[in-house]
Structures are given as C-alpha cells and as structure tokens.
Amino acid sequence: MPASTSLPVSEVFNTVPATWSIFNPDAAMQWSLRNTPTNGNAMYVNCYDYENEGAIDRLITPVLDLTTAPTAYLRFDRAYAMYSSSYPEKLRVLVSTVCDFTHTATEVLSLEGSALATAPNTTSSFVPTSASHWQNSVISLHDFIGSKIQVAFEITNAYGNNVYIDNVIISTDNSIDLAILSVESPGPVTCIQQPAPVIRVKNMGSVTINSFKVVPTLNGQTLATQSITSASGINPGGEETFALSTLPFASGQNTLSLTVNDPNGLFDANTDNNSLSLNRVINTYQQTIPLREDFDGAYPGWTIVSQGNADVWSATSTNKLNSLAYQAFTNPIRGEETWLTTPVLDFSRTAKASMFFDVSYATQSNGNERLRVLASADCGQTYPVVLFDLAGDDLSTATSSSNWVPTVNTDWQRESINLNALTGNNQVRLAFVATADNGNNLFIDNIEFFVSDNMFPVTVSNPFQVYGSGTQVFVTFNLETKTDATLRIYNSVGQLVLSNHLSEVLNQTYDVNLEQGTGIYIVQIQAGNFKGASRVWLTNR
C-alpha cells in the first residue's frame, strides 16, 4: 500500500524522500539524487549512460488527498539537454486515482526532445550549470478535485542525455505568480530607433491572471509604469505575449530592465522571476550586396553584443591575419551566447543571393560549442529564421585539448548558405550566434555575400579573369572594395563591339553574349584606379 502525505507538498530533494517510490522495471539506471551547481541536490535519470533505449522509469509521489480541496496545482523545475535530435528523451507527468500508472493513469504533461530541452545540445554528460538551464512547469490538478491521487514523473530513455527535476510543489492554496520569460523583440541588434518591446510572460500560479503592470528601466532611468490587460486571461501554466508602448532607446548600446508586478492588482507570491535585464543595440547602418568582410581592419556597421557580462566575439590573430574568435576554452559558463550581426542589407535588387564564410573550431572532450546563423527580414526586430546550426563534431575542423588557434589553411572549412528566400527585401540582417560549452575556441572569417545562388562560384586570385565559351564572354571579378566598373569589348581590328557600365562590382561573374563571329576579342576593364585587359577566343559554331 503506498504511503500518504498531507498537503501542501514542497520537495527540494535534499535526500531521496522516504515516502516517494521509484518504478524501475529493468533494474538498470533509475531516478537518483545528484548535486548540481545551480540547484543543489536534484533528482535525475542518467540517460547518458543508459543503454536500454525505450526503458521507462517513474518517480511517484505518495497518495495526496484532494477530496475536499477547493483547487490544486503542481509546479516543478526541469532541466535537460539533448545529445542530438536522434536521441530524444521524453518526460511525462501522469496522475492516477487508483495507484495504477500502467493502465488507467491520466497524462497531464508530455515533453520530448527539443520540447523538453532547456539547454543547448551537448554530447557531454549534461549537468545544469546555469539558472537558465532550468525551466518551471505549472499544471492544474483541478480535474482531480474530489479524489485521492498519486503523481508520477516518467522518463522514457533514448540513450541521449540526463533529465533532472527539482522543487516539486503540490498545493491546494490559490497562488498568484507571474513570470517574465523573454523579450521577443527587439532582437539584440535592430534599426528601429524607438521600438515597442514585445514580452512573453507565464502564469506560474494557480489562478487566472487578467492584468499586471510593467516597469521599464532604460539606461538606468526608470520610465513610466505600463498597465497590461489580457483579453482572455492567462490561465495557470499558460503563456502570452504583450506589446509594450515605445521606449526612447538611444543610438548604440542600451541596457533595458523590465519588471512585471501587481498581477490582478495583488501581491506576487514569487518575485524571483519578475525581472529581466538585457542589452540591446540600435544600429541603422545600411549596406548593399555583394559584400565582403575579412575583419582585418575596421568593420563599420557590424555589431558585436552579448548579454550581461558574457564574453564577446573579439579580433584575434590567426593565419588569416585577423579573425573573429569566441574564446570558449577559458569560459566555464555553459550556455552563454555572443552575437555578431551584419549591417542592414539590401536584397531588394536581386532575385538570387548566397553567403559564404570560413569557420575554424577544434573539439575537446569537455564540451561542444554551437554556431548558428539567424536571419531577420525586419532589420533585427526579430530573428525567426535559422539558416545554419552546427555544434561539436559537426562543426569542427580539428581536435585539440589545448587553447585552439588556427595556424594553417586546413584548420578552416568554407561554409555556404543559399539566401534566395531573403531576396526582394531591403531590411535583411544576419546574426552569427556562438554558444559556449567550455569546450574550445571558435573562429569565423571572410564572410562574403554574392548576388548569385551558385554554391560553387568561380574564384580568382587576380582582380578579374576573362574566359569564353562559344559566343559567351565571362568576366569574374575579385576586387578589394566594391566599386563601379566599365566593361568594353573590342574585335581583332580594334572596333568597339560592346560597352557596359557595371554597378557595385566586387565578386560577381558577368556574362555577355557576342554573335559577331569567330575570332579573338579584347576585353578591357576599368574599375576605380584599376585598368586591365585580356584576350578571349570565341566561336559561333
């Protein structure tokens, strides 16, 4: 017969609670206690070393009496990082009124893989080392009022990575607790000079929240309190986004703090989750493509930003002269991010576009860094599109247990991304986002945008190269800086047969169709202070 306990339940797992039970049918890995840097002791299942894929393990509460309760809710913290998408663990929360979790239990929560994850993927054995690695879930138990119940936390093993729970609260008291989860916009770098922030909040309590207040503090100055009303109410465990009024951001770096309070005009029971502080940059610098950046000099319009005091991308000497590096080898704070964003890019004058960049990263056993490339079509208000996302071995060019710096060309690999989905838009901004895992240093360099979707573009070492095929003349440019150019073609007796003005030439390949006949033609190029000529043989047969 299972043990019973009185309500409320508040279990922080300093020890394995004697009145709880563990269901472990394969007698292998099971729910056990583990100390974490952030939460002290927590319960977890070691799925990282759990080879029996599909095995189920349950952590089960004592019997809880809700027969006379006016209301009831469950709240708990969870932490999980996927090993990879191929090995997704599942967490279910089950409620039984007859002490049977195999046949008659009711599922009140089910999270699997990326939906369960609270931290970036890692191929190391996951330990939550930051408060941000934990997320809180609130579940209403209202449907079970009038019954005696047990609650089970069930893990389905995928031989992926560890799953943790902590701070389990089961209460019949009404609780008002509103948390601010994130600022959905503006993104870390935007061109909107007075943005209206969009926030996401969550009802962590047990009663519906219909209204609350937001106190913004911008660059150290507290601004007017804003009153927010939810049209339908935020139900327990529910999330909702709200747009605030515009705030007077300054050009350049800004520090914004937002605090939510007075839910339903009442006291918030937990003020630890009421505030967020973040850095936001207003940058209106614009560029057209094609574009190239090698970070060997100044790079105006490009922005580097991290949150709080987190490490940032920094210029570092490599075999490519200067590159941007994220120094993760000496950074013990897993999950920290740094952003590098482009200027606002005009893609409106091309139907095709692509981007290439060099990356260098060495894995080591301690951790696996991650690099993402995100895209914004609203100059940085939001970054909803993931163009590139690699981590660990998938990203690496080498393996090293020392502080990694690339020294030869083979330490780098060239990555490419098709950007056709962004063409026609004049408010494009891309972000290179590195995430630390206390593994090794990550480098990027030679970011290049083309007005072409050729993933294997012709590369030349000279300022230009001319070549022909049939009646086609091809000219591939490789200029140091973007400039207008003049293209002239003469026949073998010196007659001018074509003269074209080319705008914003950098790395493009131009083709011209000549039907004047077989023979040798002289192609003359003038671009800025550069002048050059080359011969080409054409045939119309």
Q: What is the pLDDT of residues 371-386, one digit of tens each?
A: 999 999 999 999 999 9
Domains and CATH numbers, the chain: 4-171 (2.60.120.200), 178-282 (2.60.40.10), 286-450 (2.60.120.200), 464-538 (2.60.40.3080)
Predicted pLDDT of residue 333: 84
CB 243 within 8 A of CB 230: no
From start to end of 81-130, where are the E strands? 90-96, 106-112
Sign of CA dihedral 31, 34, 38, 40: positive
SS3 track for 445-511: EEEEEECCCCCCCCCCCCCEEEEEECCEEEEEECCCCCEEEEEEEECCCCCEEEEEEEEEECCCEEE
Pairing mode, strands 32-36 and 496-505: unpaired
Quick one: tokens of 422? 């962004």
**Do you find a cis peptide bond into 290, omega within 30 degrees of 0?**
yes
Question: Distance (Å, rounded) from C-alpha 189 to C-alpha 359?
Answer: 22
The length of the chain is 541
Question: Distance (Å, rounded) from C-alpha 214 to C-alpha 180?
Answer: 10
Which residues of the chain are under the pLDDT cut of 70? 541
Predicted pLDDT of residue 272: 82
DSSP category for residue 421: G
CB 391 within 8 A of CB 368: yes
CB 55 within 8 A of CB 26: yes
Predicted pLDDT of residue 273: 87
Quick one: tokens of 417? 């991304």
Predicted pLDDT of residue 541: 62
Choose among 319, 120, 280: nearest CA to 197: 280
Predicted pLDDT of residue 242: 98
Choose among 2, 179, 36: nearest CA to 13: 36
Instruction: Please state whether 104 falls in left (phi above 0), alpha (psi between -120 and 50) or beta.
Output: alpha
Q: How big, in percent rounded to 5, are the helix, strand and coil portions of the chain?
A: 5, 50, 45
Predicted pLDDT of residue 425: 97
